[in-house]
Amino acid sequence: MDYKDFLTDMRAHLREFNKVNPETAKGFGALSKAAKETGPLDLKTKELIACAIAIAVRCEPCIAFHVEALIKAGGTREELADMLSMCVQMGGGPSLMYTAKALDCWDQLTA
């Protein structure tokens, strides 16, 4: 999968959803902003948590968006890999498959 193209396509699909459901989009945006901008955890830690949850629920778009956000928040490939180990420990084989996708996403987005 080409994650740069995947993110571009997902953003286009989300823009269409936002047009037909602007209040839902506005509410989700406010929720996201509040979750990211408040509390004692820094943004990088929150994005590591979001990546882990994305892997646990097997949401490829979420993995891509949160890996991208983790990169922007100053995360490192080593930090991602460490978190991925915990995903495997907690989720076993299915999580292992999605951790590989997250690492591939990182490598493509930072190339």
For the chain, the domains span: 1-6+46-111
Region 71-78: mean pLDDT is: 98
Helix (H, G, I), strand (E, B) or coil at 78: helix
Predicted confidence at residue 110, as pLDDT, reads 97
Predicted confidence at residue 18, as pLDDT, reads 97
Predicted confidence at residue 73, as pLDDT, reads 98
Q: How far apart are CA 91 and CA 11, in angstroms?
A: 28
Among candidate residues 41, 103, 34, the one with its CA nearest the CA of residue 71: 103
pTM value > 0.85: yes
Domain 1-6+46-111 in this protein, CATH class = mainly alpha
